[in-house]
């Protein structure tokens, strides 16, 4: 079972046939976000694939939520101490440099 988030708002658009401009017609715009969300092998979007797998393997929303919570807590326990030590050392260096000037 996999779960996560993605930043899809930065997905680009492609303007086809506009290398030399398109003076007489509107350019064709391909939305890469829409193209990447579709699973061409199965023929449906990723959201529907997830829904179909949940039904096929009898995964409830509560089970998925519990799994997500467990995953987030384990990440927090691993990542947060390292993040804090990095931020604290950075703040100390900034204060040290500002006190010297």
* pLDDT value at residue 74: 83
- The percent of residues above 90 in pLDDT, for the chain, comes to 4
Q: Are strands 44-45 and 28-31 parallel, antiparallel or unpaired?
A: unpaired
Structure tokens at 62: 């509560």
Average pLDDT over all residues of the chain:
75
Quick check: 57 pLDDT over 80?
yes
Strand partners, 38: 45
Radius of gyration of the chain (CA): 23
Cα-Cα end-to-end distance for the chain: 53
- pLDDT tens-digit readout, 9-31: 666 777 777 777 767 777 777 77
Predicted structure pTM score: 0.42
């Amino acid at each position: 079972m996999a779960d996560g988030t993605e930043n899809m708002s930065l997905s680009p658009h492609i303007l086809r046939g506009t290398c030399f401009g398109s003076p007489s017609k509107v350019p064709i715009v391909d939305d890469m976000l829409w193209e990447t969300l579709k699973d061409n092998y199965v023929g449906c979007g990723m959201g529907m694939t997830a829904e179909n797998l949940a039904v096929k393997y009898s995964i409830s929303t509560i089970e998925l939520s519990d799994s997500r919570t467990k995953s987030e807590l384990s990440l927090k326990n691993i990542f947060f101490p390292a993040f804090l030590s990095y931020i604290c050392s950075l703040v100390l260096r900034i204060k040290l440099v500002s006190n010297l000037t």
